[in-house]
């Protein structure tokens, strides 16, 4: 996902209504939550990352690319792609490389209980005894 300058886009009178209707912040929050729930990690490319100006075939960067140019043509390797497809490939490669920054995905946020794995309570098993040697409150009522 690209980290867009939404505030700057809303300042443009011609784009303001269309940008405000999209709700970019809400989409980003939803994606962040859903990737977290499923064990994934949302990668946000820096707003200055030249995804449209960089060739997805050879990584050669064009110094300038006007918005009217809808087809990306690389002068170095001759690759010709739709501008948006080229940018999407570059963003995919950035996310796969993990080069954007170090992130905290994949690890446990809070440490678990000290040295004791969780115990699943099944019918017919003896209740656990706490560290003082007494039966837990749940076992005392059973």
pLDDT averaged over the chain? 75
Q: How confident is the model at residue 136 (pLDDT cuts 50, 70, 90)?
A: low
DSSP at 99 = -
Q: Choose among 105, 110, 56: nearest CA to 82.
A: 56
Residue 5 has pLDDT above 90, yes or no: no
What does the pLDDT read at residue 74?
94
Q: Quick check: 8 and 50 in contact, CB under 8 A? A: no
Q: Quick check: 3 and 47 in contact, CB under 8 A? A: yes
Quickly list DSSP for 41-96: ----B-TT--TTTB-TTT--B-S---TT--EEE-TTT--EEEHHHHHHHHHHHHHH
Angstrom distance (rounded) from CA 85 to CA 52: 9
Burial annotation 33-59 (CB, 10 A radius, 16+ → b, else e): eeeeeeeeebbbbeeebebbbbbbbee
The per-residue pLDDT for range 55-109, each reduced to its tens digit, is: 999 999 999 988 899 999 999 999 999 999 999 999 999 888 864 444 445 444 4
- Which stretch, 40-44, 51-55, 98-102, 118-122, has highest mean pLDDT? 51-55
């Amino acid at each position: 996902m690209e980290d867009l300058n939404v505030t700057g886009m809303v300042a443009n009178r011609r784009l303001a209504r269309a940008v405000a209707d999209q709700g970019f912040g809400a989409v980003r929050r939803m994606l962040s939550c859903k990737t977290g729930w499923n064990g994934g990690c949302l990668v946000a490319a820096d707003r200055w990352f030249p995804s449209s100006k960089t060739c997805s075939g050879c990584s050669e960067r064009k110094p300038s690319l006007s918005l009217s140019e809808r087809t990306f043509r690389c002068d170095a390797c001759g690759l010709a792609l739709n501008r948006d497809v080229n940018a999407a490939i570059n963003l995919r490669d950035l996310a796969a490389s993990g080069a954007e920054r170090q992130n905290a995905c994949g690890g446990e946020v809070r440490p678990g209980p000290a040295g004791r794995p969780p115990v699943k309570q099944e019918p017919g098993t003896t209740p656990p005894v706490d560290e003082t040697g007494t039966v837990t409150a749940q076992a005392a009522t059973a």
